[in-house]
Chain A
Amino acid sequence: MTALPPPPPKKLGLVIDLDTCVGCHACAVACKSWNDGGAFGPLPDADPLGAAPDGVWFNRVHTYEVTGLGTAGAASEQRKADDGGRPEIPTAATAHSRVPPALTIHFPRSCLHCETPACVPVCPTGASYKRAEDGIVLVDADKCIGCQLCAWACPYGAREFSAARGVMQKCTLCVDRIYDDSLAPQDRQPACVAACPTRARHFGDLGDPHSEVSKLVAERGGFAPLQELGYAPVNRYLPPRPHRDDGAHAAAETAEAPLDGEALPPLLRWLDRLLSR
């Protein structure tokens, strides 16, 4: 059994904006690229050119379809469509709009660096541990015996067992970057954050209520998945913002008395317009 340290003063972690993530996998591959050759590498690949290629990734992106949530413009408009008295007859092409369109959510998944992680106490050798100074959860490969109890304990599926190395591997929050004084300050952040093309990933101290990441979480209602399990994840996800599809406003906008094209000769109205070149 491995003991947890006292609550650390710093809670370093990631804030991931699900409203902005386009599911491009940049974070996952940047992570793989950094760590494969870094202090916690290699991240071995099995059957790389074969039938079932798989390997160790500290970060994976999953894409989900979510149906039945909310309404969207096209859908609500279809229901209240007023097309000059002509009834809209659903066809193969329009039938879909009677159903709220699906939301597609891209969900990057990596270690959440829980405040009371399930994975650490179960470790028989002390290989899995939580750092007292910043709360990062790490695995010391030199001590790991590959029993995989930690992977069973983690409800987030954040741990990856390397059969080739016989050890458990996981996100390190790029502990070998963030304290490296030989790197430029802007590079002292996790590889996934530096890579993210939509800037949907943020890194900082979630223990400091005044940090940029804490402010983001407060503003956007950041949440931790499966909080009810009680492991107190540090990482936060920002939920999709309400979409500005404005279906609900359509009626109001239509009512703002547009020019009645039928009442004017179609082109004459432009004749008297004084234009200047």
Chain B
Amino acid sequence: MADLRTSIGKLELANPVMTASGTFGYGTEFADFVDLNRLGGIIVKGTTLHHREGNPYPRMAETPSGMLNAVGLQNKGVDYFCEHIYPTIKDYKTNMIVNVSGSAIEDYVATAERINALEAIPAIELNISCPNVKQGGMAFGVTAKGAEEVVRAVRAAYDKTLIVKLSPNVTDITEIARAAEAAGADSVSLINTLLGMAIDAERRRPVLSTVTGGMSGPAVKPIALRMVWQVAKAVKIPVVGLGGITNGTDAIEFMLAGASAIEVGTANFIDPAVTGKIIDEINAYLDRHGISSVRDIIGALEI
């Protein structure tokens, strides 16, 4: 049994496996399938200052080895989260991390302040990269200046671990990562979904109500891996890797590229018990290679 412990700045994880926001609900939806206490972390559904209804149906399209979604941050707002959901998740022995989204800097700050007061939430993941919200986080996530402004403002209001989730829909993701680092982020996570589109040729109409949506799943993995590798070289803060991870080997690949931890997203839909298996498979890989600690493979790619 190898030592699977890793860390994201001062946040300690029992193992590198976390769940990606929007794919695992609040964790409790998966409690019949996975021992939630075994996970390195659970990043719960994107939370905004106010209640959001999200986009109209249809919100999903399956694509070869992937899917598009256009949920649009449906959630009941941070007050509802604090009063009704937090009490049901606070006692799990995993890192419960809240994904914070918004469309104005003041909203991000107000939401982060509310979450800061919750003792059992040791970190937030700042979503400056959701592709499905009009004038949404994407505006911040696609320019270095926008990213720096919002991260700086939230940093001033939030004193626990601040992870900034980056959009791949940019010319140079390393530039945005460096801006987040300069503004005080403890870590960056990447990639959020890639902007995509699906058309129903028979009906001559888009499949999604929003026309375009965010693509995820195994099809995006090579792009995610490349971006994690580039960002890990560009910043000193720890990187969290995600994008199409469906098994232990995928997770190892992201860590070799430089990720200190990983998130599993779309794969939860295909196998609701996959996260537990990925932990076991990482351990088996380390044992097979005679590596005593998972930390030894972070950025250990040989070129």
Binding between chains A and B: no
Using a CB–CB distance below 8 Å, which chain A residues touch chain B? none
